[in-house]
Structure 1
Amino acid sequence: MSDELNYAIYLSYKDLPSCLKQCFLHFSLKPKKSELSLGEIVSMWICEGLLQGGSTSLEEEGKRNYKELILRNLIEIDPSFPSQLICNMHDVIRSFAQFMARDETLVVHNGDTAKENLKSSNFLRLSVETKGVGSDEFEWIYLREQKLLRSLILTGNLKSQPGDSLTYFPSLRLLHIESANIAALVESMYQLKHLRYLALKRTDVCRLPENIHEMKFLQHINLEGCESFMKIPDSIIKLQGLRYLDMDDTRVSSIPRGFRALTNLTSLFGFPAYIDGDWCSLEELGSLSQLNELSIRSLENVSSALLSAKARLNAKKQLISLGLKCDGRVGDGLVQGEVSESKEEEQIIEAVFNVLCPHPCIEQINIERYFGRRLPGWMACTAMVPLESLKILALEHLPCCTQLPDGLCRLPYLEWIKVDGAPVIKCIGPEFVQQYNQLHRPSSQLAATFPRLQKLELHGMEEWEEWVWETEVKAMPLLEELCISGCKLGRMPPGLMSHAMALKKLEIWNVQGLHSLENFVSVVELDLYDIPELGKISNLPKLQKLQIKYCPKLETLKDMDALRRLELRVSPWEYQLPVYLQTVKPSHLLLTCNLAVLTFMAEGESSSEWGKFNHIKQVEAYAEDGQDEKKWHVLYTSESCNIQTNIHQAWRSGEVLPTCAKRSWVRTSLSALHFAGGRLVEEED
Structure 2
Amino acid sequence: MGGSGKTTLARKLYNHKTIKQHFNCQAWVSISQEWNPQHILVEILRQAAGITQKTDEMVSIEGLVDKLRDYLKHKLYLIVLDDVWKKDALEDMLPAFPFENRGSKIIITTRIHEVVEFPDLPHFFHEPRHLTKDESWELFSKIALNHRECIDDYQQIGDFEKLGKEMLKKCEGLPLAIIALGGLLGAKGTTEEWEKVSKVVSSKVMGGRGTHTYGTVKDMLALSYHDLPYDLKPCFLYVALFPEDCEIPISMLTNMWIAEGFIMSQEETLEEAARQCLDELIQRCVVQVATSNYAGKVKTIRIHDLMRDLCIKKAKEQNFLEVFHRSSAPLELDEDATRSQSRRCIIHSYSSISVQIGTQNSHLRSLFIFGVAKVTFYCYELRATLSWEQVYKNFRLLRVLNISSSKTFDGTLPAEIGNLIHLRYLGIRGTNIIELPESIENLRNLLTLDYKSVVYFGRYEVRVPNVLWKLERLRHVFLPYDMICTTGLKLSTLKSLQTLCVVWGKNWMLNEMFTLSSSVKRLRIQGISSKEQLMAVFQCQSVTLDQLYSLHINWISCDENVKLQNLELLCHCNHLRKLKLYGRIGEESLPIQFPSKLKKKRLVYTHLTLPETMKNLGRLANLKYISLSTESYVGIEWTCRAGEFPQLEQLIIERLRNLEEWWVERGAMPHLTSLRIQQCKKLKKLPEGLKFIGSLRRLHIAYMSEAFYRWLNHEENNGEITGQGGEDLHIIRHIPTVTIMPQNWRDLSVGDE
TM range (shorter): 0.5 to 0.7
Residue type at the aligned position of 2:446: L
Corresponding residue number in structure 1 for 2:451:
223
Query: Hey, what's the Cα distance between the residues in 2 that align with 1:460 and 1:307?
Result: 30
Corresponding residue number in structure 1 for 2:367:
152
Please state whether the residue corresponding to 1:77 is helix, strand or coil.
Answer: strand
From 311, 329, 332, the counterpart of 1:97:
311
> What displacement does 1:270 show?
0.8
> What displacement does 1:420 show?
3.4
Query: Hey, what's the Cα distance between the residues in 1 that align with 2:273 and 2:581?
Result: 29
Corresponding residue number in structure 2 for 1:487:
680
Q: TM-score, normalised by structure 2?
A: 0.58
> What displacement does 1:348 show?
4.7
Query: Hey, what's the Cα distance between the residues in 2 that align with 1:255 and 1:486?
Result: 36
Corresponding residue number in structure 1 for 2:691:
497
User: Do the aligned residues in 1 keep the contact of 2:691 with 2:731 (CA within 8 Å)?
Assistant: no
* Cα pair distance change 1:482/1:114, threshold 3 Å: farther
> What displacement does 1:220 show?
0.9
1:319 and 2:545 aligned: no
User: Do the aligned residues in 1 keep the contact of 2:355 with 2:375 (CA within 8 Å)?
Assistant: yes
From 649, 660, 679, the counterpart of 1:465:
660
Question: Which structure 2 residues correspond to residues 471-550 of structure 1 after superposition, within 5 A?
Answer: 471=666, 474-488=667-681, 489-498=683-692, 500-512=693-705, 513-515=708-710, 535-536=725-726, 537-538=729-730
Question: Which structure 2 residues correspond to residues 192-211 of structure 1 after superposition, within 5 A?
Answer: 192-211=420-439
* Cα pair distance change 1:264/1:255, threshold 3 Å: farther
Question: Which structure 2 residues correspond to residues 581-620 of structure 1 after superposition, within 5 A?
Answer: none
1:272 and 2:504 aligned: yes
Query: Hey, what's the Cα distance between the residues in 2 that align with 1:375 and 1:531?
Result: 41
* Cα pair distance change 1:235/1:136, threshold 3 Å: closer
Query: Hey, what's the Cα distance between the residues in 2 that align with 1:238 and 1:549?
Result: 51
> What displacement does 1:82 show?
7.1
User: Do the aligned residues in 1 keep the contact of 2:402 with 2:428 (CA within 8 Å)?
Assistant: yes
1:387 and 2:579 aligned: no
Corresponding residue number in structure 1 for 2:395:
169
User: Do the aligned residues in 1 keep the contact of 2:294 with 2:624 (CA within 8 Å)?
Assistant: no
For residues 435-476 of structure 1, the C-alpha deviation after alignment (integer angstroms, 9 at most, x for no partner) is: xxxxxxxxxxx7x332222222223334433212223xx222
* Cα pair distance change 1:225/1:214, threshold 3 Å: same
For residues 102-158 of structure 1, the C-alpha deviation after alignment (integer angstroms, 9 at most, x for no partner) is: 33223344266864375363422222222xxxx331247658664422221212313
* Cα pair distance change 1:309/1:94, threshold 3 Å: same
> What displacement does 1:251 show?
2.1
From 322, 347, 357, the counterpart of 1:128:
347
Report the more deviating stretch, 17-26 or 110-119. Answer: 110-119
Please state whether the residue corresponding to 2:251 is helix, strand or coil.
Answer: helix
1:453 and 2:648 aligned: yes
Query: Hey, what's the Cα distance between the residues in 2 that align with 1:382 and 1:490?
Result: 28
> What displacement does 1:189 show?
0.7
Question: Which structure 2 residues correspond to residues 247-258 of structure 1 after superposition, within 5 A?
Answer: 247-254=479-486, 256=488
For residues 358-392 of structure 1, the C-alpha deviation after alignment (integer angstroms, 9 at most, x for no partner) is: 72310111223x2x155799xx9653xx5222111
* Cα pair distance change 1:510/1:304, threshold 3 Å: closer
Question: Which structure 2 residues correspond to residues 325-344 of structure 1 after superposition, within 5 A?
Answer: 325-326=554-555, 329=557
From 238, 246, 259, the counterpart of 1:47:
259
- Indicate the structure with greater helix content: 2
Query: Hey, what's the Cα distance between the residues in 2 that align with 1:256 and 1:148?
Result: 38
Corresponding residue number in structure 1 for 2:289:
76
* Cα pair distance change 1:509/1:194, threshold 3 Å: same
> What displacement does 1:178 show?
1.8
Query: Hey, what's the Cα distance between the residues in 1 that align with 2:412 and 2:507?
Result: 34
Q: Give me the identity figure in percent.
A: 22
Structure index of larger Rg: 1
From 616, 620, 631, the counterpart of 1:407:
616
Query: Hey, what's the Cα distance between the residues in 2 that align with 1:33 and 1:166?
Result: 30
Residue type at the aligned position of 2:691: M
Query: Hey, what's the Cα distance between the residues in 2 that align with 1:382 and 1:79?
Result: 30
* Cα pair distance change 1:239/1:6, threshold 3 Å: same
1:110 and 2:341 aligned: no
Greater relative contact order, per chain length (Cα 8 Å cut-off, separation 6+): 2
From 490, 493, 499, the counterpart of 1:261:
493
Please state whether the residue corresponding to 1:262 is helix, strand or coil.
Answer: coil
> What displacement does 1:70 show?
4.2
1:178 and 2:404 aligned: yes
- Unaligned runs of at least 5 residues, structure 1: 330-344, 435-445, 519-528, 553-570, 572-685
> What displacement does 1:50 show?
1.3
For residues 257-294 of structure 1, the C-alpha deviation after alignment (integer angstroms, 9 at most, x for no partner) is: 75211111011111221227x94442232xx1111211
Report the more deviating stretch, 185-194 or 219-228. Answer: 219-228
* Cα pair distance change 1:507/1:21, threshold 3 Å: farther
User: Do the aligned residues in 2 keep the contact of 1:25 with 1:101 (CA within 8 Å)?
Assistant: yes
* Cα pair distance change 1:14/1:505, threshold 3 Å: farther
> What displacement does 1:208 show?
3.1
- Unaligned runs of at least 5 residues, structure 2: 1-204, 206-213, 377-386, 714-718, 746-753
Please state whether the residue corresponding to 2:560 is helix, strand or coil.
Answer: helix
Residue type at the aligned position of 1:152: L
Q: TM-score, normalised by structure 1?
A: 0.63
Residue type at the aligned position of 1:325: N
Corresponding residue number in structure 2 for 1:579:
none
Please state whether the residue corresponding to 2:252 is helix, strand or coil.
Answer: helix
1:119 and 2:338 aligned: yes
* CA root-mean-square deviation: 3.9
* Cα pair distance change 1:17/1:212, threshold 3 Å: same
Report the more deviating stretch, 53-62 or 530-539. Answer: 530-539
Please state whether the residue corresponding to 2:273 is helix, strand or coil.
Answer: helix
- Indicate the structure with greater strand content: 1
User: Do the aligned residues in 1 keep the contact of 2:696 with 2:735 (CA within 8 Å)?
Assistant: no
Please state whether the residue corresponding to 1:175 is helix, strand or coil.
Answer: strand
Residue type at the aligned position of 1:176: N
Query: Hey, what's the Cα distance between the residues in 1 that align with 2:731 and 2:254?
Result: 46
User: Do the aligned residues in 1 keep the contact of 2:343 with 2:365 (CA within 8 Å)?
Assistant: yes
* Cα pair distance change 1:204/1:547, threshold 3 Å: closer
* Cα pair distance change 1:306/1:373, threshold 3 Å: closer
For residues 61-96 of structure 1, the C-alpha deviation after alignment (integer angstroms, 9 at most, x for no partner) is: 122333444455513233688754631314424333
* Cα pair distance change 1:185/1:233, threshold 3 Å: closer
* Cα pair distance change 1:81/1:145, threshold 3 Å: farther
* Cα pair distance change 1:158/1:229, threshold 3 Å: farther
Query: Hey, what's the Cα distance between the residues in 2 that align with 1:421 and 1:539?
Result: 26
Corresponding residue number in structure 2 for 1:598:
none
From 630, 634, 641, the counterpart of 1:425:
634
Please state whether the residue corresponding to 2:276 is helix, strand or coil.
Answer: helix
Query: Hey, what's the Cα distance between the residues in 1 that align with 2:323 and 2:366?
Result: 11
Paired residues in the alignment total 496
Query: Hey, what's the Cα distance between the residues in 2 that align with 1:66 and 1:395?
Result: 33
Query: Hey, what's the Cα distance between the residues in 2 that align with 1:467 and 1:416?
Result: 19
* Cα pair distance change 1:172/1:18, threshold 3 Å: same
From 191, 197, 200, the counterpart of 2:419:
191
